Amino acid sequence: MRRLLRLLGLLLLLAIALAAAVLGVVWVLGPPTYEQYSPEAFTLERKGDAEAGKRLVTMLCVRCHYDPQSNTLAGRALAPAFDRYGQVHAANLTQDDVRGIAHWTDADRVMLLRSGVHPQRHELMPPYMPWLPGIADTDLADLLAYLRGDDPWVQPSRKADPPTQLSFEAIVRSWTIWEPGPQRASTLPRPDDAEPIALGAYLANDLLQCHGCHSASLDRVDWLYPSHSEGFYAGGTVLRDLAGHPIVGPGLTAREDGGLGAWSFEEFRRALVEGEGPQGEVLRWPMPRYGALTEAELTALYAYLRTLPPATTAPKRPAPYKVVTDVVDPGRHQFERLGCPSCHGAKAQGFLSLDDAPTRFPTDPQLAAYISDPAFVDEHAWMPAYGHLLDDAQMADLCEYVRRLAEHGPHAAPPK
Ligand code: HEC
Ligand code: HEC
Ligand code: HEC
């Protein structure tokens, strides 16, 4: 017996030493490379339309690559949202020939966007940078045309983004569970408006990848065969917002609780376009606003999601933020209720700082106009509009709080 135990102990030690050695080697090697992938396999013949491409970029890329300082897609740090995967910096996508991607051929771009494999580093992008194996040729060509077009967002910016430093966890996952898309330049054509269910499936799974955030686990999403994703549309994956708060992707199957079973089309449309849930709650980052979708596309998405069989379990609801009551601090109450911290952080400092807001908007009507509809004040602003969620008194409280944040930081006492 003693001898057996000793033998087992020895084996255990050996196993631990071996595991440590393997992990050490993985750490030194970094993520796997896919040398067999080459841009030649990804040539796309079609010419696209830059205007249509901008619409796609606002729905798919801006949320990470937009840099408010230069007002271009020059990229930025995404901490703390993706800290699990390392120090993650969205890259500079402008037409700068050194810091941007001017030197990338179209085939390079298609390779990254279709397969997830970086054309120079030959490494697979972790799922913080979406890749779209199923995007239709027409949509992909529009995207490429936009990146080469004359929109101010893609004009050269010299901003340098430090390369992303992957965490150990991300490296292990790239060896074990993440796989690139196939070497394929083309896919099926985009379904048209006359086939709503097929169009809805294409939009949800292949183009906008709603399943990425609305299934059971972001790590176990199947980007190539979306319906093979773990807990497909059952919800439950834990994401993080730009303040580092955990936020759960809700389920979108036909369940009544923890799904869209009880949602009317009007409620669905409002959630996607205006960012407001059925109880008037504001949907927080990273849930995108899809104001650019057409009525036919919204109808198709709704029709498709309603065909999903109800998930067997309801995911945990996303934990609501702790919101200060409006008796304690009416301005901060609005700021927190509306989910401003999901992008600006609880302190509104650091990357999306509000420190310059009082200089840029010296009067309250100017500040209120901006918060009501940033894109109306600044054509290229990307921040969502909030005017429809605030009455005049609430807006005045919010403006006061933004000024207070800029001047005294978050710990200043509310005005008497
Ligand atoms: C969720 C955040 C996120 C979204 C959304 C996103 N990206 Fe990225 N992207 C990144 C990050 C982070 C990197 C840097 C990865 C690295 O360095 O490993 C990156 C890198 C890239 C690169 C490589 C640039 C280089 O110089 O290496 C290209 C090209 C790119 N993204 C294009 C796009 C396009 C086009 C879209 C929209 C279809 C998009 N990205 C959407 C996060 C994102
Ligand atoms: C990058 C991640 C992400 C993507 C992509 C995404 N969502 Fe969401 N979505 C979320 C998160 C997180 C929430 C919860 C927001 C909150 O609670 O404040 C949410 C909330 C919702 C809600 C409200 C559900 C509820 O029960 O309150 C609906 C409806 C929704 N999303 C639909 C969609 C559709 C349709 C798509 C694709 C067109 C999509 N989402 C794409 C992350 C995402
Ligand atoms: C989805 C992310 C997001 C959310 C949520 C958000 N913002 Fe913003 N905000 C931005 C971005 C990005 C900018 C930089 C300008 C731009 O491109 O839109 C910005 C800019 C601003 C500015 C102008 C700052 C300046 O110096 O020019 C103000 C003021 C502001 N936000 C207030 C708010 C308030 C108040 C809320 C909540 C009601 C809010 N934001 C919610 C993303 C967001």
Ligand 2 center to 375 CA (angstroms): 22
Q: What angle do CA 415, 387, 240 make, to 5 degrees?
A: 80
Q: Which CATH architecture has domain 196-305?
A: Orthogonal Bundle (1.10)
d(CA 360, CA 232): 45
Average pLDDT of the residues of the chain = 90
Cα(364) to centroid(ligand 1), Å: 37
Weakest-pLDDT range from 140-144, 171-175, 278-282: 278-282
Site residues for ligand 1, CB cut-off 6 Å:
60-61, 63-65, 78, 88-91, 93, 101, 109, 112-113, 125, 128-130, 163-164
What pLDDT shows up at residue 318? 60
**Span 193-244, pLDDT tens digits:** 999 999 999 999 999 999 999 999 988 999 999 999 999 999 999 988 887 8
- What's the confidence (pLDDT) of residue 244? 80
Q: Answer yes or no: is pLDDT of 306 > 90.
A: yes
- Reported as a pLDDT band with limits 50, 70 and 90, residue 394 is very high
CB-based burial, 178-192: b 16+ in 10 Å, e otherwise: bebbebebebeebbe
Shared fold status for 39-176 and 196-305: yes
Q: Quote the CA–CA distance of 375 and 382 in Å, as a whole number.
A: 7
Fold of the 39-176 domain: Cytochrome Bc1 Complex; Chain D, domain 2 (1.10.760)
Say which ligand is closest to the CA of 205. 2
| Domain boundaries of the chain, sorted by first residue | 39-176, 196-305, 330-408
Q: Report the separation in Å between the CA atom of 249 and the middle of ligand 2, taken as the mean of its atom positions.
A: 6
The answer on pLDDT for 23 being more than 90 is no
The atom number, within ligand 3, closest to the CA of 71 reads: 17
Q: Whose CA is nearest to atom 7 of ligand 1?
A: 129
Query: How remote is the CA of residue 65 from the centroid of ligand 1, in Å?
Result: 7
Atom nearest to 128 CA in ligand 1: 1
Best of 55, 65, 76 to mutate for ligand 1, by most ligand atoms within 8 A of CB? Answer: 65
308-352: pLDDT as tens digits: 999 998 877 666 777 888 889 999 999 999 989 888 877 766 567
Residue of 329, 314, 319 whose CA lies nearest to 243: 319
In the predicted model, is pLDDT for residue 80 greater than 60?
yes
Choosing from 56, 61, 135 the residue with most ligand 1 atoms within 8 A of its CB, the one to mutate for a pocket test is 61
Residue-wise pLDDT tens digits, 360-376: 999 999 999 999 999 78
Cα dihedral 154/157/163/166 (nearest 10): -40
